Amino acid sequence: MTLGSFRLLLLGAPGAGKGTITRKLRDVVPSLNSISSGDLLRREIQAETKLGSIASKYIDKGRLIPDELIISLVSNHISTLSQKGMGAQWLLDGFPRTLHQATALHDILEPRNQCLTHVVELVVPEEAILGRIETRYVHVPSGRVYNLSYNPPKVPGRDDVTGEPLEKRSDDNEETVKRRLKAYNEMAQPLRDFYGSRGLLHTASGDTSDIIFPKVLEALKK
């Protein structure tokens, strides 16, 4: 299937399947560049940088990193990518999460003629999310996500591509997830309003990523 050029923001609660949808999109668009703010932060933590040590204190409590820190991390990453050429299709996951971040992102992208073309919110019932997060594992360097119930690694505990160990995210426990879900529900409406008023917002809902993914593809054709 061919898709035109798109610059996509994926919105969705923690555990809504943003990482899985990204992987499925990459199967369709192998040159897809994806930027996940959570993955960038986890790499900073793994590399034991100063930013990583600040970030981990917020992440472990399920709280948002201060806007200025995350804006500068993502904007540096976008600058590095755009020097190499961002490609015709790319996506953002996990950023922006606040209105301030959304306007900062707009100010970064507009001068590059790279404003977002689509915003798709993944909508998954909360019971489905709580069930899947308990069995979720991640390969930190790549951001690849596994689930022991429906998408297990080929070798238990190891990444399929590199064979490196998988990790359980420190914030994937019920208490922190509930706090993150609450935070998502509070932050989502201003973003829906911001992107809805610009005619960019689409919704893709369902219990599983297999149900949601075709809806994401449909949205990208609009």
User: DSSP states of the chain as a string?
Assistant: -----EEEEEEE-TTSSHHHHHHHHHHH-TT-EEEEHHHHHHHHHHTT-HHHHHHHHHHHTTPPPPHHHHHHHHHHHHHHHHHH---SEEEEES---SHHHHHHHHHHHGGGT---SEEEEEE--HHHHHHHHTTEEEETTTTEEEETTTB--SSTTB-TTT-PBPB--TT-SHHHHHHHHHHHHHHHHHHHHHHHTTT-EEEEE-SSHHHHHHHHHHHHT-
Which residue of the set 18, 23, 132, 144 is catalytic? 18
Kindly tell me which residue out of 33, 37, 56, 147 binds ligand AMP, with binding defined by CB under 6 A: 37
Total binding residues toward ligand AMP, as defined by CB under 6 A: 18
Question: Minimum CB separation from ligand AMP for residue 63, in Å?
Answer: 6
Per-residue binding string, ligand AMP, 141-180, x by CB under 6 A, is ------------------------------x--------x
Kindly tell me which residue out of 41, 92, 122, 191 binds ligand AMP, with binding defined by CB under 6 A: 41
- What count of other Cβ atoms lies within 10 Å of the Cβ of residue 203? 15
Q: How far is CA 78 from CA 6, 8, 92, 145, 191, in A?
A: 16, 14, 10, 22, 20
- 64/128 with CB nearer ligand AMP: 64
Active site residue 144: no
Question: Minimum CB separation from ligand AMP for residue 180, in Å?
Answer: 5
State which of positions 70-109 bind ligand AMP (CB under 6 A): 70, 94-97, 101
Active site residue 43: no
Asked if residue 19 belongs to a known ligand binding site, the reply is yes
Per-residue binding string, ligand AMP, 54-73, x by CB under 6 A, is ----xx--xxxx----x---
Active site residue 61: no
Which residue of the set 7, 97, 132, 144 is catalytic? 97
Binding residues, by number, are 15-20, 37, 42, 63-65, 94-97, 101, 136, 145-146, 169, 180, 209
Catalytically active residues are 18, 97, 136, 169, 180
Binding interface with ligand AMP (CB under 6 A)? 14, 37-38, 41, 58-59, 62-65, 70, 94-97, 101, 171, 180
